[in-house]
Structure formats: structure tokens, C-alpha cells
């Protein structure tokens, strides 16, 4: 499965693509889509849409993951970020991709092991989980972390739907034996 992670932003939208086969993860590509901050809002959204479309066309992902944005102190910034997030959700959906959404805390917990990890910790773990990966910047590192989180969640879903053993039940059974 090839996963596209998107870290939405109006100025910069980070993207990262990984291949996941079971628990094996391989870095494919990462980068940033930028919009012209001097352009009108509608034009900037079109730039983001076209940039994401180009990444999808070039990388041919099977699924996508987008970060859930939390509210800022500035309502205008929050609204603009929400619009960029809408483009990040809409574009892969229009391409026929399944799109997962993840809170930043869930992504950090999935990749680092704690929901309150720093950006530096996330970048370090992304590089460990994807050996040889050259991260373009913090936005693309976050996008790769989203892709990793999605791959882990989808693999767990697959195991459960195939009738694999429920890890929670296995853990409880192990405790009872002690």
C-alpha cells in the first residue's frame, strides 16, 4: 500500500509518501507545496489543489492521511487553515483515494510513543522508521509521520477484519495467566 500524508497549511502544505507492506515501511518521496502569499485566497487554494493533484499523479498513492487542525488563537488564521485542510481532504477524495484523518496527538503517539512529542522528536523517529530518508523540512516530516500513522492504523484494521487475533484480548489473556 502506498500512502500519501498531507500536513495542510495555506502557505506551505507538507507531503510525504511511503510504501507499507505489513510492518515494513519504505520512504518514497517528500516535499512541500507552497502558495503565493501575495495572491488572492481563492488563487492560493487553487495552487494547493493543483500541487496536491500533481503529487498524486506522480506518486500514485493508494490512500491518503490528513492532519486534523486544531483551533488557533487568531480566528482568521484558523479559518484559512480550515480552507487549506478542506483542499487537502477534497483533492485525494476526488482522485478516488480513501482519506484518513488524524489528530496531531495521535500521530505523535503512533510515531514517537507519546502524544506530547516535540517536532524534533517526530523528525528523529521518522528518520529512524524510514532509514535513508532525507526530510525536506518540518512540514514534510509531519506529512511522513501522518503517512506512518495511517499505515499502522490500516494494518491493524486489516488484521482485525481478516480474523487476526485481537491484541487487546491477547494482552488480557496474558495477564490472566500470570
Residues labelled as active-site residues: 7, 67, 139
27/8 Cα distance (integer angstroms): 20
Pairwise CA distance, residues 92 & 59, whole Å: 12
Backbone angles phi, psi at 155, to 5 degrees: -65, -40
Owner of C-alpha cell 477484519: 161
Burial class (CB in 10 A: 0-12, 13-18, 19+), 1: middle
Contact assessment for residue 57 and residue 31, using Cβ atoms and an 8 Å cutoff: no
C-alpha cell at 100: 484518513
Amino acid at each position: 500500500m502506498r500512502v500519501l500524508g498531507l500536513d495542510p497549511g495555506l502557505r506551505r502544505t507538507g507531503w510525504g509518501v511511503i510504501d507499507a507492506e505489513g510492518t515494513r515501511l519504505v520512504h518514497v518521496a517528500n516535499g512541500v507545496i507552497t502558495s503565493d502569499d501575495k495572491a488572492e485566497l481563492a488563487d492560493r487554494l487553487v495552487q494547493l489543489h493543483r500541487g496536491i493533484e500533481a503529487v498524486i499523479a506522480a506518486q500514485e498513492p493508494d490512500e491518503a492521511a490528513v492532519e486534523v487542525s486544531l483551533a488557533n488563537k487568531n480566528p482568521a488564521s484558523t479559518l484559512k487553515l480550515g480552507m487549506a485542510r478542506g483542499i487537502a481532504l477534497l483533492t485525494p477524495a476526488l482522485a478516488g483515494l480513501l482519506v484518513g484523518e488524524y489528530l496531531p496527538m495521535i500521530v505523535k503517539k503512533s510515531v514517537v510513543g507519546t502524544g506530547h512529542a516535540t517536532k524534533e522528536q517526530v523528525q528523529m523517529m521518522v528518520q529512524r522508521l524510514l532509514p535513508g530518508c532525507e526530510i525536506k523540512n518540518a512540514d514534510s516530516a509531519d506529512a511522513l509521520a501522518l503517512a506512518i500513522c495511517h499505515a499502522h492504523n490500516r494494518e491493524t484494521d486489516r488484521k482485525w477484519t481478516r480474523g487476526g487475533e485481537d491484541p487487546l484480548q491477547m494482552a488480557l489473556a496474558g495477564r490472566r495467566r500470570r
